Amino acid sequence: TKSGYDDANTIKAMDYVGKLLKDCCPPATTMSETGTDVMFQSGTVAMITQGSWMTAGFLDNEYLVENCDVAILPYDKTTGMRTSICNGLGWAASADTKRPDDCWKLIEWLGSKEMQEKQAELGVTMSAYNNTSDKWVNCTDKFNLNAYLDITKDSTVAGVTNELVLRPYTYNSTVWSQAAQTFFADAWADPSKMEQSCKDFAVQMNQYIDEEDK
């Protein structure tokens, strides 16, 4: 219902990421224009964070199959917390379709257990059904896909707590999420501007959210 960009912990995290980008990564403009997954697949960068749905595409890349693997996300040494954002996927049809009955039948079929398991076996992405994750993990022996499932466990290392956080969203999330990519360009280039940028964008994002309710 409101932006969290002006939260003190958000600013702390954004400041950390900003300095990390400046010290360890290609320029933010390069990454926004080229895409981190493209640079990863060409060997330009050594490590990225990516969703499970990228598995099929990465398996088609000979360089990645030969040289890369999957690892669980790192944890915070001070808090002992390992955190990952998660979200769901869904099938949708246009409200203006001239064949709504057919669309519903197709969506129902795609969402069936049989087809969700087939989706996992093909490596498209994880199945939405419980107790079917092994089908996705076993879709390839090239990558350690268990790393994606390990973070769903309460703990995988003594003294470390794993947690999943639902991706923040509103009815029109793309409006403010896309705006953020442009808005923070200066702050990524100069992390000293990060705190003020977070506060300023929170105001703008709240305006976007308010407009959704009108």
- Bridge partners (DSSP) listed for residue 81: 161
Mean of pLDDT values over 200-209:
97
Could you report the per-residue pLDDT of 21-74, keeping only the tens digit for each? Answer: 888 888 777 777 788 889 999 998 999 999 888 988 999 999 999 999 999 999
Asked if residues 80 and 157 have their Cβ atoms less than 8 Å apart, the reply is no
Note the residue count of the chain. 214
| CA atoms of 64 and 142, how far apart (whole Å) | 9
Q: Is residue 37 part of a domain?
A: yes
Q: Note whether residue 125 is domain-resident.
A: no
Q: Is residue 114 part of a domain?
A: no
Tell me the pLDDT of the chain averaged across its residues. Answer: 91
pLDDT digits (tens, 9 = 90+) for 111-156: 999 999 999 998 888 888 988 888 999 999 999 999 999 998 999 8
Is the CB of residue 54 less than 8 Å from the CB of residue 38?
no
CB 156 within 8 A of CB 149: no
Q: Is 86 helix (H, G, I), strand (E, B) or coil?
A: strand
For residue 27, the model assigns a pLDDT of 79
Q: Would residue 3 count as lying in a domain?
A: no
Q: How far apart are CA 70 and CA 12, in angstroms?
A: 27
Give the pLDDT score at 214.
67
Q: Where are the alpha helices (DSSP H) in 78-193?
A: 100-110, 113-121, 133-137, 146-150, 173-183, 185-189
pLDDT at 23: 85
Whether residue 49 is contained in a domain is answered as: yes
Beta-carbon contacts of residue 113 (< 8 Å; ≥ 6 apart) = 127, 129, 132
Residue 202: which domain range? Answer: 8-85+143-212
Domain assignment present for 112: no
Closest Cα to residue 73, out of 190, 3, 157? 157
Reported as a single tens digit per residue, the pLDDT across 61-108 is 999 999 999 999 999 999 999 999 988 888 899 999 999 999 999 999
Look at residue 121 and tell me if it is in a domain.
no
Q: According to the model, what pLDDT value does residue 188 have? A: 87
196 part of a folded domain: yes
- Rounded to 5 degrees, what are φ and ψ at 181? -60, -40
The pTM of this model reads 0.81
Q: 71-76, long-range: CB within 8 Å, 24+ apart, which pairs? A: 71/144, 71/147, 72/147, 72/150, 72/151, 72/156, 73/49, 73/151, 75/157, 75/160, 75/162
Cα atoms found within 13 Å of the Cα of residue 146, Cβ hemisphere only: 4
Scan for tokens 């003020």, then name that residue.
196
Into how many domains does the chain fold? 1
What would the pLDDT profile of 151-200 be if each residue is shown by its tens digit? 989 998 999 999 999 988 998 999 999 999 889 988 988 889 999 999 99
